[in-house]
Amino acid sequence: MDMKRILFTLLVLLPLCACKKGNPVVEPEKDIAFVSIEAFQTKTQVSTNATPIWGQGDKIAVFGEDSESPSEFTLRSGAGYTCASFEGIKPQGELFIVCHPSTAKCDGITFRGKLETQVSHSLPATPLGTLPLWGRARDLENVKVSSPCGVLQLNLKGSGMLKSVLLDAGRPISGEFLCSLSDSVFAMIGGANIILIDAPDTEVFPSRATPFYFVMPPGEYEEIRFTITPAEGEVMYFSPSDAIIIEPGAFSMLSVDLNDLL
């Protein structure tokens, strides 16, 4: 399956200068990054609420080959949309690596980041947690980035209010990771076997599904176990009967009716 890509278009501005007689002062050059996000490719239909969108406070890191540290670009406008603009100072060099989030590290050989162990659920925009993205380009006018991770979309039906949804994969799925830029080999560095979605006051309905999203390392999972904690009543447990395949840059679907677990 080919991954859908996320397109970064950065327009380079002319350097800004402030001059004093006999003592010119040059301000750092700044870029405006216009960022378009396309939905991940999926095996089944996905509604528009499953399209990754930018959020207020999002930041990206731009690494230059001649810079010891990355330049941080901050969301300028477009929160809640698939297209947003970021602003930051252009690093030195002719080859650039763009990463999300801005806390990610890259040495030109590996991409290093962190997958969240705990995520808060909210509507109408449902957080994906930290979705790692990276891309390489020789100019900042057309940078394509992709995710080394995939997303498990858990669709729940039922009746009542939930408190939390916990996924236990039986092996590390959250915490620090390393990803090779040359062959996309992905490895967790220790970490936890779980991802917990806090979902206070989240209602599930018998007639339509409520989605929950888990950003996960790629691979085949045969021992996944879910723990569903309602606001009232007994805790529910279930494990998928078939293995779940998580592919880079793609959604995998799992649908469950909680009434069947009672």
How far apart (Å, rounded) are the C-alpha atoms in residues 129 and 151?
10
**Amino acid identity, residue 145?**
V
Please state the domain extents for the chain: 6-261
Cα dist. 162→16, 66, 155, 237 in Å? Answer: 52, 50, 13, 13
What are the pLDDT digits (tens) for 98-123?
898 999 999 989 999 999 999 988 76
Q: Token match 């006051």: residue?
A: 201
Rounded distance between C-alpha atoms, residue 9 and residue 54, angstroms? 15
Q: What's this model's pTM, rounded to 2 decimal places?
A: 0.82
Q: What is the mean pLDDT of residues 74-91?
A: 80
Least confident of 104-113, 119-128, 154-163, 207-216: 119-128
Instruction: Note the pLDDT of residue 129.
Output: 73
